[in-house]
């Protein structure tokens, strides 16, 4: 879906499809050099990471496997609290694998911090994290991020997999949603 289709709902286009694909290609080259000769297991966090996973995996010139995890974060006003429930676990054993977690966005960092703690007990040979977006001003925990696509302002964004009320995911850009769409307080 093009931004023109929902122009009235968007405040600002932060990232165009071209910027996103250029950056994903750069990150893919870094990952290839870090994991040369390996067959990494890419773990996508549903549902936001679907687009990043699709583009990154196809850009990588490495043999790889993909798996998916679905989690829900509990907190006040939809803000992450660090209390995470696994809605769908991995189907693949992590033991001895080089694992790359693929995320759409790291906001407070609480969800990812929980995920890393959970994954550390599963015996992966190595654990890396790639996120397309990071909000440095919102991070409340220090999570190690190996590959970051873009640092963005602390605003609520949609598109390229990211939703509001399950909409806007298919937008090819990343855009700031107008506050009046969600009625004031960020979701
Ligand atoms: P964290 O635990 O890092 O605070 O939040 C992680 C989750 O909150 C993300 O995976 C995403 O689902 C949601 N989130 C945080 N910021 C945004 C945003 O700007 N837009 C959207 N659509 N979701 C966000």
Q: Of ligand 1's atoms, which has the minimum distance to the CA of residue 135?
A: 16
Q: Confirm or reject: Cβ of 106 under 6 Å from ligand 1.
A: yes
| Catalytic residue, candidates 55, 89, 107, 146 | 107
pLDDT digits (tens, 9 = 90+) for 69-80: 999 876 555 556
Q: Kindly tell me if the per-residue pLDDT of 110 is higher than 80.
A: yes
Q: Which residue from 65, 59, 68 is spatially nearest to 149, judged by alpha carbons?
A: 59
Asked if the ipTM is above 0.90, the reply is yes
Asked if 107 is an active-site residue, the reply is: yes
pTM: 0.94
Say if CB 92 and CB 64 are below 8 A apart: no
Please give the pLDDT value at position 129: 98
Please give the pLDDT value at position 81: 67
The pLDDT-based confidence of 21 (bands split at 50, 70, 90) is very high
Please give the pLDDT value at position 184: 75
Tokens 């870090």 correspond to: 34
Please give the pLDDT value at position 167: 94
Q: Kindly tell me if the per-residue pLDDT of 6 is higher than 90.
A: no
Q: Confirm or reject: Cβ of 107 under 6 Å from ligand 1.
A: yes
Please give the pLDDT value at position 186: 75
Please give the pLDDT value at position 150: 98
Compute how many other C-beta atoms are within 10 angstroms of the C-beta atom of residue 108.
19
Give me the sheet containing 10-15, strands edge to edge. 10-15, 174-177, 157-158
Compute how many other C-beta atoms are within 10 angstroms of the C-beta atom of residue 43.
26
Q: Of ligand 1's atoms, which has the minimum distance to the CA of residue 104?
A: 10
pLDDT digits (tens, 9 = 90+) for 78-106: 556 667 899 999 999 999 999 999 999 99
pLDDT digits (tens, 9 = 90+) for 124-137: 999 999 999 999 88
């Amino acid at each position: 879906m093009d931004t023109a289709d929902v122009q009235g709902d968007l405040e600002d286009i932060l990232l165009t499809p071209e910027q996103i694909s250029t950056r994903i290609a750069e990150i893919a080259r870094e990952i290839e050099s870090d994991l040369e000769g390996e067959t990494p297991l890419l773990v996508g966090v549903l549902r936001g990471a679907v687009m990043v996973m699709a583009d990154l995996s196809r850009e990588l010139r490495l043999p790889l496997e993909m798996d998916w995890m679905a989690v829900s974060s509990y907190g006040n006003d939809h803000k992450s609290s660090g209390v995470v429930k696994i809605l769908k676990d991995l189907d693949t054993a992590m033991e001895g694998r080089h694992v790359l977690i693929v995320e759409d966005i790291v906001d407070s960092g609480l969800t990812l911090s929980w995920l890393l703690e959970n994954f550390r007990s599963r015996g992966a040979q190595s654990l890396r994290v790639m996120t397309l977006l990071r909000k440095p001003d919102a991070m409340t925990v220090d999570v190690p991020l190996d590959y970051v696509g873009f640092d963005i302002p602390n605003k609520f964004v949609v598109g390229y997999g990211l939703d509001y009320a399950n909409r806007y995911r298919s937008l090819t850009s990343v855009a700031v949603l107008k506050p009046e769409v969600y009625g004031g307080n960020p979701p």
